[in-house]
Amino acid sequence: MINLKEGLFQKSHKILSRIIFFVTILLLQYCAPQSQYGKLRNGDLLFVTAKETGLSGAINNVTQKQKEASFDHIGIVEIANNHWYVLHAAPKGGSQKQELKSFLTDQSDDGQKVMIYRLKPEYQKSIPAALKKAESMLGKPYNFNYILDESSYYCSDYIERSFREDHIFKLEPMTFIDPKTGKTNEFWTEFYKKKNLKVPQGELGCNPNGLAASDKLDKIGEL
């Protein structure tokens, strides 16, 4: 009788140990993202550092406003049901909702860093409407001409439109002038020549560096 009780106790102990083990694993899986992305809040803006060459370098060359920061891409964070997403417009995939982990992997693979910026407290109320607007623009193609239209978006354009109702950001005359030479950057001259388009110097638009320089944002740090 005693042996039977001991056997039942040992079996119960093993079952309980297994249950505790699996519950622990589930909790770790649930909490890991929260720990890893603990800095992030709903509506945070993620700015991707610029490369020195190609399209990225050309964008930065004519738009950089801060010596310590230069960016070529931007997205907005959405947190739902303990899942982290980035809503953004990218050359590959257009306007999309991408899992944060995948988004960060893409930037890391390209050797770029991601910086977190956050709306100051007095502007936080704009976030719910901005996310709703961003969701409504998903699925549109990428705007490869960087000239504003209603059928496609580029990255900063997508974010500016998301917050437009509350005037968080503003459109400004675009410049394609190389500050070192005072002339149109050669990359952009060739870029628009191939598209049979005139360089849109002075037309309204926006860019990641311009948005990052907004006095409505606080820089939080690197993700």
Task: Report the range of poorest mean pLDDT among 22-31, 177-186, 187-196, 202-211.
Answer: 22-31
pLDDT tens, residue by residue, 56-91: 667 766 776 555 568 999 999 999 988 999 999 999
Only one residue has tokens 């891409």, namely: 73
pLDDT tens, residue by residue, 25-42: 444 444 444 555 788 999
Enumerate helices (H) and strands (E) in the chain, giving the number of each.
7, 8
Average pLDDT value for residue range 37-62: 82
Average pLDDT value for residue range 108-134: 95
Which pTM was predicted? 0.80
Residue 91 CA to residue 200 CA, distance in Å, equals 20
Residue 114 CA to residue 223 CA, distance in Å, equals 6
According to the model, what pLDDT value does residue 25 have?
A: 43
Which amino acid would we find at residue 87? L
Helix (H, G, I), strand (E, B) or coil at 30: helix
Average pLDDT value for residue range 148-155: 96
pLDDT band at 23 (very low <50, low <70, confident <90, very high): very low
Supply 96's token pair: 């999309």
Residue 8 CA to residue 23 CA, distance in Å, equals 22
Supply 54's token pair: 């190609």
Q: Percentage of residues in the chain with pLDDT exceeding 90?
A: 69
